A and B are shown apart, each in its own frame.
Chain A
Amino acid sequence: MPGYVQVNSKVVQVPVAPGREVLARRGAMLAYTGQVTFRPVTAAQGIPGMLGRVVAGETVKQMVAEGSGQVFYGHLGLHLTVIDLTPGESLQVEADRLLCHDASLTSSVHFLGQQGGIRGAVRGAVSGQGLFTTQLAGDGSAVVLAHGGAIGLQVTPGRVVAVDPQAYVGHRGQLSVDVTAKVGWREAVGRGSGEAIQLRVQGQGVVYVQASEQKF
């Protein structure tokens, strides 16, 4: 979709028009020109909606920009990466790394954890052993946040990539992401106590990793 301009590594300029509304994280608007209004929305689809009472911190407050103009978005000076999706492709991004995206994209929430299902999600979210990701699909663009910028690592059959979950930004393509615990991993990712999880990415696609072992 024409329009998302990366002004610098930390700011994007997004056009807003009738029929082309933009969903963004609350507080991410830096400036705007034209006639644009902002309306808060609550993300109530998928697992977080159901777990809302259990996992209060997992839902990111969002707002929708409507009208006609250009909005400058940025957040805490974090680096931004614009990802353009094509129809038929889906992008999975860690839930609170999504800065903004075209409202026309379909979004659903997936939980990456050792146990599947709702109970797995609850246990995982409570114990910190999993990740909530937002899956976006359709024709449009999305902007993701990363501490220090993100690089894409190619994943090909036969070449598994292991990723520190705190550095995981997102992935696209035909990939399966398994969450496992590994001996010695705790040393590698520097966790003091508790079991540490590792993401093992296999298949064909790209996994995005940020330049920091601290999430933000």
Chain B
Amino acid sequence: MDAPLSPVTLPVDDNINPYAFCVDLQGEWFLHKGKMIAYYGQMRFEALTVASVSALVAAHFSSPLYADDWVVATGVGKLVLGDRGFDINSYDLDDGNLTVRAANLLAFETRLELLQSIVPGFLTLLGTGKFLASSNGPVIFAEPPIRVDPEALVGWADCPSPSYHYDGHWMTQNLVGLLRGAIGIVSGEERQFDFTGAGTVLIQSSEKTMADPAALRMMEQQITALSQAEKVHLHRFLGTQLTQ
């Protein structure tokens, strides 16, 4: 066993190992629920929906859809964070912008501003400050032009939002693929996110994504808007998905 760490020897705002991070809390941080694994000191964790949240905090977190999954950590001490054994990295934004998959965002300083991206499942962070994101396997940084399997994408900075690229070759070579293209996509070879411009693309080491509870909420909202016939069709589709 290595020599144990203490509040004096724990890294300050840095990784303890690739899967755990220590925040030197001196005030407030936005934190995704359930990611605290240990702490020294005096801390309080309050849900974002609680009335005592200050107007300042509310203005910096503009995403009612995701507010449910977040808390504000307030206090002084050393806060150790971990996320299901996934790799954790910290990023420093300097008057910058970065869009990251909501399920991968772990924590960020309250001076950063959070907005909901129009790309479903992604959140945009703006301003100057530090944030933490987790990924399945280490993050790989690449530059456009590049095409990425949507399930392997973690986020992007500075370059424009991606568009979809359909691999026509794949579809025409495979009749089943063509049919699937009409119904739904099976693997990343058929459809990818296409990035161009100047910036950085963050890719994780796996096509396995983490569950995003908000995705289900979004779908529920959209389903209520469907017609009766459309809902029946969806019910049948769901049936086949569940038996696979």
Binding site for B on A (CB under 8 A): 7-11, 26-33, 37-40, 63, 72, 74-78
Residues of A within 8 Å of B138, CB to CB, are 8-11
In this assembly, does B173 line the interface, its C-beta being within 8 Å of a C-beta of chain A? yes
In this assembly, does B189 line the interface, its C-beta being within 8 Å of a C-beta of chain A? yes
Out of B136, B174, B189, name the residue touching A29 (CB < 8 Å): B189
Within the complex, what minimum Cβ distance (angstroms) separates A146 from chain B?
A: 14
| Interface flags, B179-223, vs A, CB<8A=1, else 0 | 000000001110010000000010111111000000000000000
Out of A27, A33, A37, name the residue touching B188 (CB < 8 Å): A27
Residues of B within 8 Å of A30, CB to CB, are 148-149, 152, 188, 203-207
Q: In the bound complex, do residue A31 and residue B147 qualify as a contact, i.e. CB atoms below 8 Å apart?
A: yes
Q: List 12 A-B contacts (CB under 8 A).
A: A9-B137, A10-B137, A10-B206, A30-B148, A32-B192, A33-B147, A39-B173, A72-B140, A72-B203, A74-B205, A76-B208, A77-B136
Q: In the bound complex, do residue B207 and residue A40 qualify as a contact, i.e. CB atoms below 8 Å apart?
A: no
In this assembly, does B236 line the interface, its C-beta being within 8 Å of a C-beta of chain A? no
Given contact pairs A8-B205, A30-B149, a sample of 6 additional A-B residue pairs in the complex whose CB atoms are under 8 Å apart: A10-B137, A11-B138, A30-B205, A30-B206, A31-B201, A78-B206
Q: In the bound complex, do residue B169 and residue A37 qualify as a contact, i.e. CB atoms below 8 Å apart?
A: yes
Residues of A within 8 Å of B137, CB to CB, are 8-11, 74, 77
Within the complex, what minimum Cβ distance (angstroms) separates A97 from chain B?
A: 16
| Chain B stretch 41-90: residues in CB contact (< 8 A) with chain A | none
Out of A28, A32, A33, A63, name the residue touching B207 (CB < 8 Å): A28
Q: In the bound complex, do residue B140 and residue A63 qualify as a contact, i.e. CB atoms below 8 Å apart?
A: no
Q: In the bound complex, do residue A76 and residue B206 qualify as a contact, i.e. CB atoms below 8 Å apart?
A: yes
Q: In the bound complex, do residue B189 and residue A27 qualify as a contact, i.e. CB atoms below 8 Å apart?
A: yes
Within the complex, what minimum Cβ distance (angstroms) separates B243 from chain A?
A: 16
Q: A174–B144 Cα gap in the complex (Å)?
A: 46
Within the complex, what minimum Cβ distance (angstroms) separates B98 from chain A?
A: 18
In this assembly, does B11 line the interface, its C-beta being within 8 Å of a C-beta of chain A? no
Q: A78–B192 Cα gap in the complex (Å)?
A: 22
Within the complex, what minimum Cβ distance (angstroms) separates A70 from chain B?
A: 9
Residues of A within 8 Å of B234, CB to CB, are none
Q: Number of contact residues on B: which range applies?
A: 20 to 34
Residue of A whose beta carbon sits closest to that of B173: A39
Residues of B within 8 Å of A29, CB to CB, are 149, 188-189
Ranked nearest first, the 8 interchain pairs of A and B with the lowest CB-CB distance are A10-B205, A77-B206, A10-B137, A30-B152, A37-B169, A38-B189, A31-B148, A27-B187
Q: In the bound complex, do residue A37 and residue B167 qualify as a contact, i.e. CB atoms below 8 Å apart?
A: yes
Q: In the bound complex, do residue B205 and residue A32 qualify as a contact, i.e. CB atoms below 8 Å apart?
A: no
Residues of A within 8 Å of B152, CB to CB, are 30-31, 72, 74
Q: Which of A8, A10, A31, A38 has the most CB of B within 10 A?
A: A31
Residue of A whose beta carbon sits closest to that of B148: A31
In this assembly, does B226 line the interface, its C-beta being within 8 Å of a C-beta of chain A? no
In this assembly, does B177 line the interface, its C-beta being within 8 Å of a C-beta of chain A? yes
Within the complex, what minimum Cβ distance (angstroms) separates A35 from chain B?
A: 10
| Chain B stretch 108-142: residues in CB contact (< 8 A) with chain A | 136-138, 140, 142
Residue of A whose beta carbon sits closest to that of B143: A33
In this assembly, does B27 line the interface, its C-beta being within 8 Å of a C-beta of chain A? no
Residues of B within 8 Å of A40, CB to CB, are 170, 173-174, 177
Within the complex, what minimum Cβ distance (angstroms) separates A44 from chain B?
A: 15
Q: A78–B205 Cα gap in the complex (Å)?
A: 9
Q: A32–B174 Cα gap in the complex (Å)?
A: 21
Q: A111–B145 Cα gap in the complex (Å)?
A: 43
Within the complex, what minimum Cβ distance (angstroms) separates B191 from chain A?
A: 11
In this assembly, does B146 line the interface, its C-beta being within 8 Å of a C-beta of chain A? yes
Q: Which of A39, A74, A75 has the most CB of B within 10 A?
A: A74
Q: In the bound complex, do residue B188 and residue A63 qualify as a contact, i.e. CB atoms below 8 Å apart?
A: no
